[in-house]
Structure 1
Amino acid sequence: MSSASTTAQTLPDGVVTLADHEFHARGLLDEAVWAYFNGGAADELTLRANAQAWQTIELLPRVMRQLSGGHTRVNLLGREWPHPILVAPMAYQRLAHPHAEQATALAAAALGAGLVLSTQASTLLEDVARTVLPEPDRGPLWFQLYLLPDRGFMKTLVQRAEAAGFDALVLTVDAPVQGARDRERRAGFRRPADITAVNLVGRVAPSPLSLRPGQSRLFDDLMTHAPTWDDIAWLRSITRLPVLLKGVVHPLDARQALSCGAAGVIVSNHGGRTLDTMPATATLLPRVMQAVAGDAPVLVDGGIRRGTDVLKAMALGASAVLVGRPVLHGLANAGATGVAHVLRLLRDELEISMALTGCRTLSHAAATLSHA
């Protein structure tokens, strides 16, 4: 589908916040699909904590400051971008809307937002790149990976991303196995046969091992293929693109990532979908910032629902933020129009928050926190 064929849709009446988008999308999506997109692991404590943690951080305004000429621009991986908001990698967006990742890409490019395309996208990566790259005011275009055992296929996939024009690779490192997603299982989610990870067609999955009595299918089979730090060197050896690691939450892992040549790290608990009872990302971010000590960009996702949350993340030292589920809600509500509205709301609220705290540029964001 080309961008020209993305028919504009109208937003539902009364949608003026990201919470409104979530409310309306809830009535549009199948119960099982809703559970897949919005559910978390186990008791969903981390899922809820992510949003709550941003809400508890307080802003302290300064008044009567000279703010003319202020802006939201940021520098990331050697380039200047319009603002620090990126769309997080999310799989199978065709479950939310027929135009899927193509609609999300169109909206992100038009709004100057970055886009991290999931390796499990339901749209070809080349089609997404052709939508984003012509936009002169676009944000970053990154491709997310899981390290698969089929190294030949992985190399080809990385080469495809390079040839298509992606700016960087994002390696997800915090999900060697899927979390215990109870809500998803209760709802009986099954991915429809006609919605597939089209960019992974042709990969060869390893055959299950024959286990002896008492052996674990997880530890003695599946985890034998799980990536390790040594694999980062291999990935960097096959690409000219910078590699960021997503899912780094421990300070020692952050330092290890940089020693392995990572161009940056993304503080993420996978939206509360993997290990429940993890701390919120707003709590984890300062620890990682201290460990990285300015040697590389640190991004953060998880629970960001307001422009004030974006400002708080930047105040804590983040280089940019990623937003996930609200984008899916906007997509379900009105395709590209809905996604654009979500991104526009976040940027507008960010600018309002900056103006009301006396913050002219995001390089001064730290002074907006009440404990600064």
Structure 2
Amino acid sequence: MFAGHADYARLEERARRALEPAVFDFYAGGSGDETTLAASAEAWRRVSLRPHVLRDVSSVDTRVRLLGREVPAPVCVAPMGYQTLAHPEGELAMARGARRAGALFTMSSRSSRRIEEVAAEAGPWWFQAYVMRDRGLTRDLVRRAADAGAAALVLTGDTPYLGRRRRDRDPGLIPDDMFGVNLGPGFDRASAEQAADVTYDDIAWLREISGLPLVVKGVLRGDDARACAAAGAAGVWVSNHGGRQLDGAVTTAEALPEVAGAVRDDAVEVYADGGIRTGVDVLRALALGARAVFVGRPALWCLATGGEDAVADGLAELCGGLAHAMGLAGVTSVTRIDRGLCAFENTRHNVET
């Protein structure tokens, strides 16, 4: 999240030393052999750029509109659960840090703080939801988020079951009072787990009960992106869940061109996360078709090592890195970034155009 990937590695090591081993492994680990996790950051580095020269870049504009709302830069915070494991203030400190940096914040439905108290600390924010086995729980959470001021709803679509994560096997790490802080007394933990029967039909249901634009997170295929758009999604979020679901899944850098190309004629915004560590990585993602990027572990490591201040500083540094990379690439506005800036994309599958 910084000048280079080595800076990120040093931040991650500081977080490892600051956290209990089981907590660090919960956040850092991926599924299976962690091949997708390992490949995600490296995939961005294989995207070469073709900078312009002799352009007036004395002023660079990183502003962008996300679902109709302008934000200072296309750098946002991804949803992450149970953040009080990393810092006593958890989501409160993350939301405040994002607000100070001008970054859109996404609150997880697995937040370890109440929706309303996190919303009170946030700037612009979205709410991430799972469709739970007890859909009444989902309905109640979504309505509370809408009432608390969420600007959009994010449906995580890639989690019918949890990935098998070798480093995430401590059954007592998430106690019931943390798991159920937003579920109320007497909840049944099994009923609050993710449902396995979620379909495109649920997009309309969630839009109806929330009254909010809906983004589908976890899209890695062009045909799925088109189906989401046809079902009424306002955005698709290219993500492999941080390498925590299907091991061997395509990286975001590899999937993004196909997804963006599939919905380029639709009024659907495209976002991306996964392995983004530097401002140059953000530029690469925008060139491959993302309207904005979201960061997870980098922001979480900042939270663990320095709380709100470190989150604000880390996000500001990433936004500054994007502006610097844009200037070096001869681009004055994020609206002028396009595929022509890329020399090639190293993909393992057929890219739909």
TM-score normalised by L of structure 2: 0.90
Give yes or no for the alignment of 1:267 onto 2:238.
Answer: yes
Query: Aligned-pair distance for 1:148?
Result: 1.4
The amino acid that maps onto 1:198 is: V
1:156-193 Cα deviation digits (max 9, x unpaired) = 222211111110000001011110101223x7773245
Secondary structure in 2 matching 1:200: coil
Separation of aligned partners in 1, 2:43 and 2:130: 28
1:92-145 Cα deviation digits (max 9, x unpaired) = 000000010000000100101111100000111111111124xxxxxx410000
Query: Aligned-pair distance for 1:194?
Result: 5.3
Among candidates 257, 260, 272, match of residue 286 of structure 1: 257
Query: Aligned-pair distance for 1:320?
Result: 0.5
CA 1:48–1:122: 2 relative to 1, 3 Å: same
Q: Partner residue of 2:342? A: 369
Q: How well do the aligned residues superpose, as a CA RMSD in angstroms?
A: 2.1
**Contact 1:171–1:245 under 8 Å retained in 2:** yes
The amino acid that maps onto 1:142 is: W
1:153-302 paired onto structure 2 within 5 Å: 153-185=137-169, 190-192=173-175, 195-202=178-185, 204-205=187-188, 225-295=196-266, 296-302=268-274
CA 1:371–1:276: 2 relative to 1, 3 Å: closer
Matched residue count? 337
**Contact 1:97–1:335 under 8 Å retained in 2:** yes
Q: Partner residue of 1:145? A: 129
CA 1:80–1:206: 2 relative to 1, 3 Å: closer
Give yes or no for the alignment of 1:25 onto 2:15.
Answer: yes
The amino acid that maps onto 1:175 is: T
CA 1:232–1:283: 2 relative to 1, 3 Å: same
Separation of aligned partners in 1, 2:303 and 2:158: 26
Secondary structure in 2 matching 1:167: coil
CA 1:225–1:193: 2 relative to 1, 3 Å: closer
1:62-89 Cα deviation digits (max 9, x unpaired) = 2221123321011121122111011000
Query: Aligned-pair distance for 1:197?
Result: 4.1
Secondary structure in 2 matching 1:245: strand
**Greater gyration radius:** 1
CA 1:178–1:286: 2 relative to 1, 3 Å: same
Give yes or no for the alignment of 1:312 onto 2:296.
Answer: no
Separation of aligned partners in 2, 1:223 and 1:94: 22
**Contact 1:149–1:205 under 8 Å retained in 2:** no
Query: Aligned-pair distance for 1:18?
Result: 2.8
Stretch of structure 1 that moved more, 152-161 or 82-91: 152-161
For structure 1, list consecutive stretches of 5 or more residues without a partner in the other structure. Answer: 1-15, 134-139, 209-221
**Contact 2:303–2:311 under 8 Å retained in 1:** yes
Separation of aligned partners in 2, 1:206 and 1:119: 14
Q: Partner residue of 1:65? A: 55
1:352-367 paired onto structure 2 within 5 Å: 352-366=324-338, 367=340
1:108-123 paired onto structure 2 within 5 Å: 108-123=98-113
Secondary structure in 1 matching 2:133: coil
Stretch of structure 1 that moved more, 357-366 or 42-51: 357-366
Separation of aligned partners in 2, 1:316 and 1:69: 23
Separation of aligned partners in 1, 2:62 and 2:24: 33
Separation of aligned partners in 2, 1:224 and 1:282: 28
The amino acid that maps onto 1:246 is: K
Query: Aligned-pair distance for 1:152?
Result: 2.7
1:318-329 paired onto structure 2 within 5 Å: 318-329=290-301
**Contact 2:133–2:194 under 8 Å retained in 1:** no
1:308-341 Cα deviation digits (max 9, x unpaired) = 0000000111010010001110001010011112
**Contact 1:150–1:205 under 8 Å retained in 2:** no
CA 1:304–1:79: 2 relative to 1, 3 Å: same
Secondary structure in 2 matching 1:43: coil
Separation of aligned partners in 2, 1:225 and 1:335: 35
Secondary structure in 2 matching 1:149: coil
Stretch of structure 1 that moved more, 104-113 or 68-77: 68-77
The amino acid that maps onto 1:282 is: A
Separation of aligned partners in 2, 1:354 and 1:225: 42
Query: Aligned-pair distance for 1:279?
Result: 1.0
Among candidates 330, 349, 357, match of residue 321 of structure 2: 349
For structure 2, list consecutive stretches of 5 or more residues without a partner in the other structure. Answer: 1-5, 346-353
Q: Partner residue of 1:8? A: none
**Contact 1:92–1:197 under 8 Å retained in 2:** no
Residue identity (%):
46
Separation of aligned partners in 2, 1:353 and 1:331: 25
**Contact 2:132–2:195 under 8 Å retained in 1:** no
1:329-361 Cα deviation digits (max 9, x unpaired) = 000101001111220221111111011111101
